[in-house]
Structure 1
Amino acid sequence: MKYVNSKKKLILLTVLAVFLIIAAAFTFYVSDYYHADSKALTALKSTETYSVSDSSDYITFTPTTNKSTTGIIIYPGAKIQAEAYSVMASKLAQKGYTTIIVKMPFNLAFFGSDKAGAVIAKHGEIDEWVIGGHSLGGVFASEYAMKHQDKIRGVIYLAAYPSTNASNATFKALSIRGSLDGLATAEDISKNLDKFPANTTFITIPGGNHYNFGDYGVQAGDNNSTITREKQQDITVDYIVRFVEGL
């Protein structure tokens, strides 16, 4: 009997040890993420053209004039602080679009793929919604849109592609990537081409890369761009505005 109890204790201790190792590894993994730079943090301050509301779940950029009834939701890339997309969100707000960046648990959209639902429910003044995401954020923005096609008019894939088939989606889509992107390559897009919504416009920004869509420094595994971060974001905003106006 003592032998059986000792064996059970050993099994329990082994399971506990494995659990603690996994928990420690996960904690280490999620604690190492890309932080928003000073330019992004500056964009979080309200101006004459837009106001900013920063909560524990969302960062909302609201135009002060010429406010559109179409709203834009942004899902951040994996392990990238939500604030890193403030510059692009502020530019969209200046164009008249209420733009909400979703803060993800552990900075991973995997754990908050349905958070757009709370955004939509909170903003009854918005008639139509476009959802977009950068990198892994684009994957889960697409997942949300597929499950809620009655709520979403368009999806924006920034250096991203669908992980599940969205070819029969009722919404339109816009795919934007940089020609020098080392993480979402042309081959990646090509291999997943049949998963994109049938009505997708594909844009490649010459000289652009992966990390220039946000303001969080240099990302490991990516290539250096031959255009400035500001130029890539300005081009991206222009294409997004054209896309939204055409819905």
Structure 2
Amino acid sequence: MNIMQSKKKLILITVLFIILIAAGAFTYYVSDYYHADAKAMAALNSTDTYNVQKTNDFITFTPTANKSTAGIIIYPGAKIQAESYSVIASELAKNGYTTIIVKMPFNLAFFGVNKADDVIKNHPEINSWVIAGHSLGGVFASDYAVNHQDKIKGVVYLAAYPSSNVSNTTFKALSVRGSLDNLTLTEDISGNLDKFPDNTTFITIKGGNHYNFGDYGVQAGDNSSTITREEQQKQTINAIIQFIRNL
């Protein structure tokens, strides 16, 4: 084997080694995520007021009565199990709104930005869609909405803000944040005000934090709330319902 062949072999081995290290690091990163708690898992059971259908891609909560023609799509936060949002989804379904939580590949919305396409296609009975996203899920929910303004009538940012300028879009928006949120800070919202749609309603829940929007335990780096998780979710649900009614 000549020197040139040896160098090529060494380069190939080095590249393969780097790929293996990167793949291992990614696998480790995505395998460490927040799991839904017992309350969230209990909400996955159908009741007299809503039915639950679970697939590999979606968790669908369908009202049993007083169904609205408006539907809600939820994009989970990064590295948070989709089932963690089943309490909020079930409460929205109780109020007549078909609500679908999207299961993201590797629990990262980055890899499933356009999964709302399938949600909309699978529900022709819905003629008005609102897409909501928690934390990083809100960033990608916003990205989806800006590229599908013919389908999305409203965006709900839960402890989130748009990464790109969507101020001139046609959809309305709702921003909900806890006053004690230590992951999406006050300055994150105020510093990006010019990126939000012009017709955005901003709500700050006094005593709320970041992780109370879901049911997955305590999130590292966040502050403890001074209100219960149930109270924060109640205020959030009421705000979303009022927002949809005003679309």
TM value normalised by structure 2 = 0.99
Match of 1:163?
163
Provide, for residues 69-88 of structure 1, a one-character-per-residue CA deviation record: whole Å limited to 9, x for no partner.
00000000000000000000
SS of the aligned residue for 2:113 comes to: coil
1:214 deviates by: 0.2
Match of 1:242?
242
Match of 2:95?
95
Give the alignment of 1:1-247 within 5 angstroms. Answer: 2-247=2-247
Distance 2:152 2:227 in 1: 32
Distance 2:162 2:203 in 1: 16
Distance 2:125 2:56 in 1: 22
Distance 1:114 1:150 in 2: 14
1:180 deviates by: 0.1
1:2 deviates by: 1.4
Provide, for residues 7-56 of structure 1, a one-character-per-residue CA deviation record: whole Å limited to 9, x for no partner.
11100000000010000000000000000000000000000000000000
Provide, for residues 138-163 of structure 1, a one-character-per-residue CA deviation record: whole Å limited to 9, x for no partner.
00000000000000110000000000
1:228 deviates by: 0.4
1:66 deviates by: 0.5
- Give the aligned residue type for 2:183: L
Q: Which runs of 4+ in 1 moved over 6 A?
A: none
- Give the aligned residue type for 2:228: T
1:108 deviates by: 0.1
Report the aligned-residue RMSD: 0.5
Distance 1:194 1:29 in 2: 33
1:3 deviates by: 1.1
SS of the aligned residue for 1:113 comes to: helix
SS of the aligned residue for 1:24 comes to: helix
- Give the aligned residue type for 2:114: D
Structure 1 segments unaligned to the other structure (5+ residues) = none
Distance 1:115 1:165 in 2: 22
- Give the aligned residue type for 1:66: N
Q: What is the aligned length?
A: 247
Structure 2 segments unaligned to the other structure (5+ residues) = none
1:4 deviates by: 1.0
Distance 1:197 1:101 in 2: 23
Distance 1:34 1:156 in 2: 22
Identity, % of aligned positions: 73
Distance 1:39 1:9 in 2: 55
